[in-house]
Amino acid sequence: MCTIHSTPTRSKDIESSPTDPPLISAQGAKRVFKKAIEIWQNDTCIDFYEHDYGRDRIVVINGSGCYSSVGKVGGLQYLSLAPKCVMVGIAVHEIGHALGLFHTHARHDRDDFIILNAQNFKTNALALQRYVGMVASLIQGTAPNVSVPNGYGGDLCIERVRRLNN
């Protein structure tokens, strides 16, 4: 039985100050975010509740891009959907990050499921070296999702995000 609960918030839940990020307010963005929540609730055992209380909650903002912290940070957790990010697939993707999921291609067991074609990499050896260094710790099997099976159609798989947005 799964009993995970998350609490996205309405903009009235927070008193904004000049230093706070701008809260998302466009009706289209709210509709997209609610559709993304609906997808998570229909496809998983996770429930989201919209209410006016709760110390730990997700706050959707109109930030400078599409991003969220990975996993629970405690308190107000900002999930940014800039105007260019207001698409259901991107919102689903960012909610996945807020829930603690990493990109599918960054998993420690990635090479068991994905074949990297070296010909598709730019010839810049330094960029390739940085990429290899970035995933070195993941190869050790230290990623938190080690026990979760890989899935090509997962919400953190970039191709699935593209399909949800079309």
Cα–Cα distance list, 72 to 6, 27, 130, 160 (Å): 10, 26, 28, 23
**32 within 8 A of 88, measured Cβ to Cβ:** yes
94 is catalytic: yes
Residue carrying structure tokens 């891009």? 65
Catalytic residue among 38, 50, 94, 159: 94
**9 within 8 A of 61, measured Cβ to Cβ:** no
**24 within 8 A of 61, measured Cβ to Cβ:** yes
The answer to whether the annotation marks 93 as part of a ligand binding site is yes
Token pair recorded at residue 41: 């609730």
Report helix, strand or coil for 48.
strand
Nearest Cα neighbor of 80 from 19, 28, 39, 24 is 24
The answer to whether the annotation marks 97 as part of a ligand binding site is yes
Residue positions annotated with a catalytic role:
94
Binding-site residue numbers for Zn(2+) are 93, 97, 103
